[in-house]
Amino acid sequence: MQHDSLYDDSPSSSRATRSEQERLAQLKSQIRHHDYLYYVKDRPEISDGEYDRLFRELADLERAHPELVTTDSPTQRVGAPPLDELGKVWHERPMLSLDSLMESDEVLAFDQRMKRELDTDQIEYTVEPKFDGLSVELVYDHGTFVRGSTRGDGSVGEDITFNLRTIRSLPLQLQADRYPDHLVVRGEVYMRLSDFHALNRRMTERGNDVFANPRNAAAGSLRQLDSQIAASRPLVITCYEVMAMTGAPPPSHWAELEMLAMWGLPVPNLRRRCQTIDQVLAFHRETEQQRANLPYEIDGVVVKVDREDWQARLGMKSRSPRWAVAFKFPPRKEITEVQDIAISVGRTGILTPLALLKPVEVGGVTISRATLHNADEVARKDIRIGDTVRVERAGDVIPAIADRIPVLNEVRSDPFHMPQHCPICGSAVAREGAYFYCTGQAVCPAQLKGAIEHFASKTALNIEGLGKKTVAQLVDQELVKDLSDVYRLDREQLLRLKGFAEQSATLLLGAIARSKTAPLDRFLMGLGIRHVGQHIAKVLAKEFGSLNAIMSADRDRFQEIREIGPEISESLVSYFQESSNRRVIEQLHKLGFSIAGTPSPQNRGALPFSGKSFVFTGGLMRLTRDEAKALVERLGATVSSSVSQKTGYLIAGADPGSKLDQAQKLGVTVLDEKAFLDLIEQQEKN
């Protein structure tokens, strides 16, 4: 097997002797052992100087003999070359969330329900802390860590293998003499409080924005495209569940944790096996009392039916297991003063009132601002500038104001009102239910990056190369101030951006030029109008046929369409009434942008896939199923859920299932995802 190496650019050297190979294996084993003692057991046996000496000796040997470097070597934790994007990973088993309980009565009812469904009078539970971090999946093959990913939506996550490899408490090679050939483990990555405060102090000294809390710091570190950044962050991991493994599983969750610990994986030290539900409640009380002194954040305890066969009998709901719950702690609260109320404009244009507070420490984190959620919430709690309030960290993550505390003889300021114009761009503010939003979506700087990314996405204008990193540079350097500026970019401007050379600049400019001719529905989708997704964009394009007709329509005209109600019609009218949005569309026309109306049924035969049927099976890595469907429908095809002799193409992703066998039997053309995208690109060029 060929392994990645940090020393690929080293000069070739003589073949390693047997003694050098044996010494290298011995050094790796010793360093793994000391990493486990230091980072997992917190019980070092050697000094930092002695550890550094062993590490340098290993690095020198590997530098002299790069062919001996393996991915599980301790030297490979220092990070890998930056990635362009995080790839998608399909989990081997769904990573479910937990139902949350807040009261003892709810936990007692859970116990009664478990006893009733299992027809027993006594159930043992394993109880452990609910860590406040980022859930991850770890995969080991033959004892070696090979892949790690975020939870994502529970079924598909992001590949963060290189970032996870930098975590010292995560073993790259399992210990013990025997372990499964294949093992999938779930764990939580987080930061200790002391490390979090030290990190924020360093970032402040460098003039960088600080993290709001340890969970955000951990999540932000793990999702870096450059693993060198993750390697510099003080991340730790705790493992708490076997998701899949070869061989017989252990009989209980407690035994499962003991087994993981035997293999060198860090497991919760603060855990208990409880014979009764009363012991579970006692553990919860004791843990809450210890909470302030723990070195990490927890927001409750997890209660799990201990026996694995009972877990299997109880099964799962759609998003959570029936056999486990999170028994949460009450939010931490402190008293402080509202010094001002500011408005934050989010990426989607939502205006959120924020209370700027006299700094106060809540659960070890200094809080200087708290969300007021929306105008209705401010009115309900009657929060005003100068008020004394009780602040809580809801779920130990998001600071919020719990309530106002009346003060004797206080003179209160005027009630708070939401602004009529966006504080960032000056566009009109519209209301939808409890929420206010900026109507200047395409020109508002607070929304601009998200608006351009959406405009360039595959489901909209499909401008390949105009991704998140490039958009961020263009906006930060003020090269793009609204959507129309994308079509004013030149080669010299692109070459000044990080990561751009002649070829990449040429490719991006070509993609931008090709996008100047767009179908009406994709253009509407690209504008990012609230509530106008792919389906509604197609409905509008089919109904009106041209952009001018849509821009001229009023609320009543929109609501004549069966699939459009008051919310969508209000959103459309507000968007096209905003002068800044109309100005951007006018500029796009002047720059040569051509918006093609929806072809009439008699003209659909001219499209390249007219009359062809596509079937998709398995998981696609670069596209969602909806994105892939939109691509072929735009070119005239229909999409079917079943394979028949009339099927033109079967697109097979990961784990394709029985549809692939059926297609092969019928002689249907089968394409993998790359071949499918090549076909689409070829047809779009034609």
- Strands 324-328 and 99-101 turn out to be parallel
Distance CA 48, CA 262 (A): 25
Distance CA 126, CA 250 (A): 14
Query: Which one of 88, 130, 458, 629 is the catalytic residue?
Result: 130
Angle, helices 520-527 vs 445-456, to 10°: value is 150
Judge contact between 304 and 125, C-beta under 8 A. yes
Q: Which two tokens stand for residue 493?
A: 């401007």
Distance CA 92, CA 451 (A): 34
DSSP 316-346: B-SSSBTTEEEEEPPPEEEEEEEEEEEEEE-
**Which residues lie closer than 8 Å to 661 by C-beta, 6 or more apart?**
none
Judge contact between 231 and 79, C-beta under 8 A. yes
Nearest 5°: phi and psi at 332? Answer: -75, 140
Distance CA 101, CA 91 (A): 27
Q: Which two tokens stand for residue 218?
A: 């951990």
**Which residues lie closer than 8 Å to 643 by C-beta, 6 or more apart?**
615, 650, 659, 662, 663, 666, 668
Concerning whether 481 is annotated as a catalytic residue, the answer is: no
DSSP conformational letter for 188 = E
What angle (nearest 5°) sits at the alpha carbon of residue 549, between those of residues 548 and 555?
120
Judge contact between 166 and 68, C-beta under 8 A. no
Which residues are designated catalytic? 130
